[in-house]
Amino acid sequence: MESSYIIGSIIVATLATYSTRIIPFLLFRTREPSSLIKYIELNMPLMIMVILVFYALKDVKWESYPYGLAEIIGVCVAIALHVKFKNALLSIFIATLVYMVLIQKVL
């Protein structure tokens, strides 16, 4: 692969990625955010976070063995631990550990 091709692609991908991140700041630079923008700012993050959970699970093959069992158990462990102990690091560590053991040794 030619280095000019790789370098050109990196520059273009950099600009493309950065522009997706800067667009909203450019659009709402001057005027005060409207009440609609404030409403979106307040409520969109919760929706984004929930959708990111499903996004993280998008490549699971639900229709064949083990039917996403490791993912379901991992998510349930994270929810249960977090509701009970409210310690983010603990919930994430144990859930990940359970998941790793399940996919490496059990399923």
Partner 1 sequence: MNFLAIVKLTIPVMMGYIPLGMAFGLLLSKLLIPWYYAFFMSVFIFAGSGQFLALTLFASQATILEIGIATFLLNLRHTFYGLSMISTFKGFSWKKHYLIFGLTDETFALLKTSDVPEENREKVYLWITFLNQCYWIIGSVVGAVLGNIVPFNYEGIEFSLTALFVVLSIELYKKNRLHKPFFVALIIGLFGMILFPPQKMLILSLCLAAFVLIVFKRSMENGK
Buried b (16+ CB within 10 A) or exposed e, 12-37: eeeeeeeeeeeeeeeeeeeeeeeeee
Name the minimum Å distance from CB 7 to partner 1: 8
Task: Tell me which residues in 77-96 interact with partner 1 (CB under 8 A).
Answer: 78-79, 82-83, 88-89, 91-93, 95-96
Q: Token digits for 100?
A: 């790793």
- When binding is defined by CB under 8 A, the residue of 5, 61, 64, 65 that contacts partner 1 is 5
Of 67, 84, 100, 106, which lies in the binding site for partner 1, with binding defined by CB under 8 A? 100
| Segment 42 to 71, residues that bind partner 1, using CB under 8 A | 42-59, 70-71
In degrees, rounded to 5, the angle at the alpha carbon of residue 40 between the alpha carbons of residues 39 and 41 is 90
